[in-house]
Structure 1
Amino acid sequence: MIRRFGETPRPDQTYRRRVGAYALLPQAGGLLVTEQSTETGPDLQLPGGGIDPGESPTAALHREVFEETGWRIAAPRRVGAFRRFAYMPEYDLWAEKICLIYVARPIRPMGPPTEAGHAAVWLDTVDAAQRLGNAGDRHFATRLALGQLRTG
């Protein structure tokens, strides 16, 4: 069973399962996150997103991190998973999001994010653990900050 974070699913709503890969990207006490512009203001998130049909989770992770931060990464290692139920307005979709969490090494920036409305932001790991926009992301960032996840 995968731990659930966030809102309880609505019994009157049908959800579509959407599996995604997300990255904790630590370096020198900081964590690389993405800031996404939303209708309600900026939202800090672990970079990552949906796995396309036929795509492996690690290929999706590399692609999504690059699109949302402009960075290349290396040595991704899966450290856990969680699920959450959410409305995704950009897709007009009610989703059961299965979030596969990886720790990876940020290697180098290749330019700005290619995905509109995203910006790469470095935060202190402890600060990120408090400020990330969803409880699942905060849970894994907190475990990283407390040294409960092996990073190399």
Structure 2
Amino acid sequence: MSNRWRPSVTVAAIIERDGRFLIIEEETSGGLRLNTPAGHLDPGESLPQACAREALEETAWHFKPTALVGVYMARFVKQADGEDITYLRFAFCGELGEQEPGRPLDEGIVRTLWMTLDELRASADRHRSPMVLRCIDDYLAGIRLPLDSVHTDPSVYNVS
């Protein structure tokens, strides 16, 4: 069973303030790309915990997920080496907390930006994936699933 297919589980934070969205600009193998604060689920954490952690690590802003916007799946084949990856993204919206000025951002993050929807649409060719705009569009359409629809069994937290 070593050839069993496993998608890469990621989380994303949809953070809006005054009609602008918190976006990161990051260095990737394909050059500078724009993305919502996002990253991989780590062992021992729930999806909402992963989302809050990734938002803080990538933006220096505290974020509290309050609803699931959607679950998204996309396939990406790296041009450099042909690696074939399927991402399973859980996107959350929520409450923006305090910023930690001076907090170092994750490696590869160049800066954070507050962008309008028009600016995001105009820069779609620079998005990390097509899921960036899709998640924001769903958020703006009012899609919200209650956070209690995302369950984490206690066994997840028993990581050695």
Question: Taking structure 1 as the reference length, what is the TM-score of the superposition?
Answer: 0.75
The runs of 5 or more residues in structure 1 that have no matched partner are 1-13
Give the deviation of 1:117 after TM superposition. 2.0
Give the deviation of 1:97 after TM superposition. 0.7
Match for 1:32: what amino acid?
Answer: L
**2:78–2:84 contact (8 Å) kept in structure 1:** yes
**After the TM superposition, which residues 1-152 of structure 1 pair with which residues of structure 2 at under 5 Å, given as runs?**
16-87=6-77, 94-111=84-101, 112-118=103-109, 119-132=111-124, 133=127, 134-145=129-140, 147-149=141-143
Q: Which has the larger radius of gyration?
A: 2
Query: How many angstroms apart in 1 are the aligned matches of 2:134 and 2:122?
Result: 9
CA RMSD of aligned residues (A): 2.6
**2:52–2:65 contact (8 Å) kept in structure 1:** no
| Equivalent position SS for 1:21 | strand
Task: List structure 1 runs of 4+ shifted beyond 4 angstroms.
Answer: none
Q: Which residue of 2 aligns with 1:6?
A: none
Match for 1:148: what amino acid?
Answer: G
Identity of matched residues, %: 22
Query: How many angstroms apart in 2 are the aligned matches of 1:149 and 1:38?
Result: 30
Query: How many angstroms apart in 1 are the aligned matches of 2:13 and 2:65?
Result: 11
Match for 2:35: what amino acid?
Answer: Q
